[in-house]
């Protein structure tokens, strides 16, 4: 099928194949969707006290911090699924067939990325719906600004994932770097505990993380009632992270690179 199709058809074929693979084994997607919901429930009472008595938001119910924090933290965990879609081709011995077909590296990256971007969009949307409907989140600012920032967050997570695919030789390396990186950067950025409660050194370093910028934008909109102007800088940073990941993939990702799946 890949021998005579156009570039668009080849990307579509790769995307459709990966879509069916993910749909046939949705366990990981279910887990990374349920875990942030559980985290919201656990952290909301704690964050309620912090927001009301320390941060100066007397009417906050806690989910204003717990919701965005949980969503941003677990958004980056989808990078492990992106990596798996590449490494499985090596594990199953089908990578050489892709290399033999007239498919460019960029087409493989796009084709394998689109299903995960779609699932990420569904996951993030569902989590926001739960935050608003189940945990009674109220935003003082426009919901559309939250949506715009969430889209930029999805691009950042994709850039983080595709960079790891390009750098890692084994799926175990990718899983460790993705999970530890997501937890470390997420904690530093204020996803687990509010940034104001972190040690001074952590508060100083937190702006180097994309998670910090995402949370800053969500806080400005949800708690402070800011509009689209408040999410411009966070969106640019998150899109820059995605762009940096794509640029790294351009220089590092090669069809000839050997990858090792699970034995």
| pLDDT of 69 | 97
Residue 201 makes CB contacts below 8 A (sequence gap 6+) with none
For the cut 90, the answer to whether the pLDDT of residue 68 exceeds it is yes
Alpha helices in 92-170 (DSSP H): 95-100, 105-133, 143-167
Q: From 180, 192, 191, 213, select the one nearest 80 (Cα to Cα).
A: 180
For the cut 80, the answer to whether the pLDDT of residue 239 exceeds it is yes
Whole-structure pTM over 0.85, yes or no? yes
Determine which helix (DSSP H) or strand (DSSP E) holds 170, and give its type and residue range: none
175-195 pLDDT per residue, tens: 888 888 899 999 999 999 999
Average of per-residue pLDDT values in the chain: 86
For the cut 80, the answer to whether the pLDDT of residue 40 exceeds it is yes
What does the domain layout of the chain look like in residue ranges? 7-252
Q: From 166, 141, 206, select the one nearest 79 (Cα to Cα).
A: 166
Look at residue 260 and give its three-state secondary structure. strand
Structure tokens belonging to residue 48: 């309620």
For the cut 80, the answer to whether the pLDDT of residue 6 exceeds it is no
Q: Give the pLDDT mean for 31-58.
A: 93
Residue 7 makes CB contacts below 8 A (sequence gap 6+) with 104, 107
């Amino acid at each position: 099928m890949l021998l005579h199709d156009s570039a668009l058809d080849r990307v579509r074929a790769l995307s459709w194949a990966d879509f069916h693979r993910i749909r046939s084994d949705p366990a990981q997607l279910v887990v990374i969707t349920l875990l942030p919901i559980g985290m919201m429930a656990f952290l909301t009472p704690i964050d309620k006290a912090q927001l009301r008595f320390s941060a100066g938001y007397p009417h906050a119910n806690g989910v204003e911090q717990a919701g965005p924090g949980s969503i941003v933290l677990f958004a980056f965990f989808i990078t492990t699924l992106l990596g798996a879609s590449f490494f499985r081709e090596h594990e199953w011995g089908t990578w050489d067939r892709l290399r033999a077909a007239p498919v460019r590296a960029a087409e493989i990256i796009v084709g394998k990325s689109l299903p995960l971007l779609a699932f990420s969009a569904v996951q993030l949307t569902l989590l926001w719906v739960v935050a608003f409907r189940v945990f009674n989140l109220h935003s003082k600012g426009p919901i559309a600004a939250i949506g715009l920032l969430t889209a930029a967050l999805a691009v950042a997570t994709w850039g983080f994932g595709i960079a790891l695919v390009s750098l890692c030789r084994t799926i175990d390396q990718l899983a460790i770097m993705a999970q530890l990186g997501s937890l470390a950067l997420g904690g530093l950025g204020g996803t687990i505990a509010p940034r104001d409660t972190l040690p001074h050194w952590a508060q100083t370093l937190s702006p180097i993380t994309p998670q910090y910028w995402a949370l800053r934008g969500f806080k400005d909109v949800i708690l402070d009632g800011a509009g689209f102007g408040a999410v411009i800088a966070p969106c640019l940073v998150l899109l820059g992270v995605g762009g940096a990941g794509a640029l790294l993939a351009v220089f590092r990702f090669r069809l000839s690179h050997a990858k090792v799946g699970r034995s």
